[in-house]
Amino acid sequence: MQYRFKIAGGDFSNAGTVASSVKKILRQLNIDHGVSKRIVIALYEAEVNVVAHAYSGIVEIDIDNEKLRVTITDQGPGIPDIPKAMEEGFSTASPQVREMGFGAGMGLSNIKRNCDILNITSEPGAGTNVEMITYLKPDAR
Amino acid sequence: MPDKNIHTEFHHALRVNESDCTGCTHCMTVCPTRAIRVRNGKARIIANRCVDCGECYKACPVSAISVEQDDLEMIFRFEARVILIPSILIGQFSHKIPASSIYSALKEIGFTHVFQVENTVDMVLDAYNEYRTKNDVRPLISSFCPAIVRLIQVRFPSLVDNIVRVNPPIDMSALYYLEHLKASGIPGEKIGLFYATPCAAKIAAIKSPVGETESIITGVINMNFLYNKIQKYLQNHSSEKIMPVTDDLLNSRGILWSLTRGEAVHCDRRALAVDGIRNVTEILENVENDKLGSVEFLELRACDESCAGGILMTGNRFLTVERLRKLASEHARSEEDNDKKLTDRFINIRDHSYLGNIEPRNIEKLDEDMEVALKKMSRKRRMMCFLPGFDCGACGAPDCQTLAEDIVQGRAQISHCVFMQQQLVNQNLMSNEKAFKITGEIWGNERLEKNCNKIGAEDENY
């Protein structure tokens, strides 16, 4: 089963709506709370990244009996050094963004902690592609 | 199959009186848990979804929803007949009527002892503080309002662990007074404890408690019923033979406890007080999405103006709040206000401060089995491509999504939708007779007949 969502860059007032829609879907699917929580945290972080850094993005979600796959494709500045961006505390967020409570530099490491497989590819100046996979049965990890 | 048991054991205090119900859908559209459907022209409450919040009762234009209560005669089976009253009972009456007159009225009605529910709030506060230091889940959510506890169980199952496992004052006071009477030599079986309730949720909480096995409260008397009895007494007795108020330990904290901010005000960190079930739902969504930051404590109440706005309250809720605030500020000025506590008495019920387990009861899940749920979800989404999506309610469900869910669960058919029905008839897939029959099944056969007694029609009040 597939879902698709659009994210508008810079729209902080709606940052998190994709994550909260997905949370409702997972509740209807009777997904384990712990698993659902991890998915939502990872998705929320990734969603905020698009809002904070990119111009626009598309979230695609694919759920089957075993796993949930999230693919986020954005048009934006891209990430020049992905290993550096994965370090805790690394942030390129502007002071204004930090003031809103975002941009603490924990995003990517938080995503990594909360999904089972993470693939990030990026073309600086064009955009970033994030793939996150989480297994749905708590013992499947 | 453990789910089934929970559902059948679930007790509700709200009832639809079929003879009065006109199937108008007002209740169905306001229900915060989508627990109402219309079948055969009558509203039906789905037991495992209902949280007894009373929104349907407030919305019903023909008073077809009633709240069950125990027969007052039942109290006379006991030698000691205790009425446990919340402060809002007194707050409903004019400030010119002293509490002692209300106590006298209650004794005239047949009770032998009157005890104020909020006498134990300081004990509850101590238990809260102890709980807070031992548990690091945040924000903590008050267990005071039983409709909210149930709302969290069914709609926000992931927040069940945030509910403070501390008994509300009603349970503590009932236990305290029972022990108090036993200590004075009255055998337990001769003591009847009755609670004057402002709402349906408290009745349901007493008849089938969440987090404890059985309530020690014998019965429940509805506040609107008592209000009438007290008013009648006050009309007939001016000021003669007024009983002295015994056990009046209520301090300013107790007077305000059941009002909005009554609990939150005692939290020394960030605390929010939210009343009204829609506001509460909004804040709980924020908690789920981690949007509240470092909030320590949430006081959440289903009714607007908290218990002063309970569905069984007769007095105007704003006046009730005003009177109680005035009363509390008078108490707070007195020297002994802080010392008015039960805790230093010889009866120790502290060990009973804590609630047992509160189970999540996710009502949103389409199936226990995730793989089956996934299939149902796909079907539901496909169905939504065809349903009109403006939530008219003519199918007997509150909105299109609920109808789609009911269809995948085998509780409704796509032809229940009047627009889909038109399509089917138009494409010769359904006969006109069959379409008419379906409408009759949902709305009852008399629904389409002329009836001038409807609200706004020629003989409305006749």
If asked whether residues B340 and B390 sit together in one domain, one would say: no
Closest alpha carbon to A115 in A30, A9, A19 = A19
Residues 6+ apart with CB under 8 A from A65: A136, B370, B371, B374
If asked whether residues B390 and B280 sit together in one domain, one would say: no
Cα separation, B29 vs B450, in Å, equals 25
A17, A27, A44: best to mutate for the B interface, most B CBs within 10 A: A27
Interface of B with A in 306-335 (CB under 8 A): none
Closest alpha carbon to B128 in B296, B290, B282, B283 = B296
Cα separation, B298 vs B388, in Å, equals 39
What would the pLDDT profile of A34-62 be if each residue is shown by its tens digit? 899 899 989 999 999 999 899 999 999 99
Q: What is residue A92's predicted lDDT score, i.e. its pLDDT?
A: 76
Start-to-end CA distance of chain A, whole Å, equals 21
Ranges of residues in chain B whose predicted pLDDT is under 50: 1-8, 344
Does residue B431 lie within any of the structural domains? yes
If asked whether residues B243 and B377 sit together in one domain, one would say: no
Q: Which among A28, A64, A136 has CB closest to B365?
A: A28
Q: Given CB atoms, is B292 within the 8 Å cutoff of chain A?
A: no
Residues 6+ apart with CB under 8 A from B214: none
> Which of B320, B352, B384 corresponds to the end of one domain?
B352
**So where are chain A's domains?**
2-135
pTM: 0.90
Q: What is residue B8's predicted lDDT score, i.e. its pLDDT?
A: 43
Which residues in A lie closer than 8 A to residue B367 (C-beta atoms)? 30
Residue B14 pairs with which residues in a beta bridge?
B67
Question: Using beta carbons and an 8 Å cutoff, which residues of A are at the interface with B?
Answer: 1, 16, 19-20, 23-25, 27-31, 33, 36-37, 44, 63-65, 101, 136-137
Does residue B252 lie within any of the structural domains? yes
Does residue B359 lie within any of the structural domains? no
- Across the interface, whether the CB atoms of A20 and B285 are under 8 A apart is answered yes
A29, A31, A32, A68: best to mutate for the B interface, most B CBs within 10 A: A29
- Across the interface, whether the CB atoms of A29 and B366 are under 8 A apart is answered yes
Does residue B454 lie within any of the structural domains? no
Query: Strand pairing of B65-67 and B14-16?
Result: antiparallel
Does residue B461 lie within any of the structural domains? no
Cα separation, B325 vs B303, in Å, equals 18
Host H or E run for residue B377:
helix B370-384
If asked whether residues B119 and B263 sit together in one domain, one would say: yes
If asked whether residues B283 and B381 sit together in one domain, one would say: no
> What chain A residue is nearest to B371 in terms of C-alpha separation?
A65
ipTM of the complex: 0.87
Residues 6+ apart with CB under 8 A from B11: B204, B207, B208
> Which of B318, B352, B386 corresponds to the end of one domain?
B352
Q: b/e for A14-31, b at 16 or more Cβ within 10 A?
A: ebbebbbebbebbbbbbb
Does residue B360 lie within any of the structural domains? no
Does residue B293 lie within any of the structural domains? yes
Domain of residue B318: give its range: 72-352
- Across the interface, whether the CB atoms of B158 and A136 are under 8 A apart is answered no
For chains A and B, what is the number of CB pairs under 8 angstroms? 53
- Across the interface, whether the CB atoms of A63 and B365 are under 8 A apart is answered no
If asked whether residues B44 and B138 sit together in one domain, one would say: no
Interface of B with A in 347-406 (CB under 8 A): 360, 362, 364-371, 373-374, 377-378, 381
If asked whether residues B343 and B377 sit together in one domain, one would say: no
- Across the interface, whether the CB atoms of A1 and B373 are under 8 A apart is answered no
Enter the tokens of residue A112. Answer: 């990594």
Enter the tokens of residue B268. Answer: 């020394």
**What class, spelled out in words, does domain A2-135 have in CATH?**
alpha beta
- Mean pLDDT score of chain A: 89
Q: Which among B289, B362, B367 has CB closest to A27?
A: B362
What would the pLDDT profile of B264-288 be if each residue is shown by its tens digit? 999 999 999 999 999 999 999 989 8
> What chain B residue is nearest to A24 in terms of C-alpha separation?
B364
Does residue B357 lie within any of the structural domains? no
Q: What is residue B440's predicted lDDT score, i.e. its pLDDT?
A: 85
Cα separation, A43 vs A49, in Å, equals 10
If asked whether residues B183 and B196 sit together in one domain, one would say: yes
- Across the interface, whether the CB atoms of A136 and B370 are under 8 A apart is answered yes
> Which of B323, B352, B381 corresponds to the end of one domain?
B352
- Across the interface, whether the CB atoms of B362 and A30 are under 8 A apart is answered yes
If asked whether residues B302 and B319 sit together in one domain, one would say: yes
What are the C-alpha distances in Å from B425 to residues A45, B331, B419, B430, B442? Answer: 50, 71, 10, 5, 18
User: Please, what is the Cα angle at B152 between A25 and B44, to 5 degrees?
Assistant: 85
Q: What is residue B239's predicted lDDT score, i.e. its pLDDT?
A: 58
- Across the interface, whether the CB atoms of A27 and B365 are under 8 A apart is answered yes
Provide the domain count of chain B. Answer: 3
A17, A26, A30, A63: best to mutate for the B interface, most B CBs within 10 A: A30
B281, B288, B361: best to mutate for the A interface, most A CBs within 10 A: B288
If asked whether residues B244 and B271 sit together in one domain, one would say: yes
Which amino acid, one-letter code, is at A90? F
Which residues in B lie closer than 8 A to residue A14 (C-beta atoms)? none
If asked whether residues B334 and B406 sit together in one domain, one would say: no
B152, B364, B380, B409: best to mutate for the A interface, most A CBs within 10 A: B364
> What chain A residue is nearest to B160 in terms of C-alpha separation?
A33
- Across the interface, whether the CB atoms of A27 and B364 are under 8 A apart is answered yes
- Across the interface, whether the CB atoms of A1 and B377 are under 8 A apart is answered yes
- Across the interface, whether the CB atoms of B157 and A33 are under 8 A apart is answered yes
If asked whether residues B83 and B55 sit together in one domain, one would say: no
Whether the CB-CB separation of B303 and B148 falls below 8 Å is answered with no
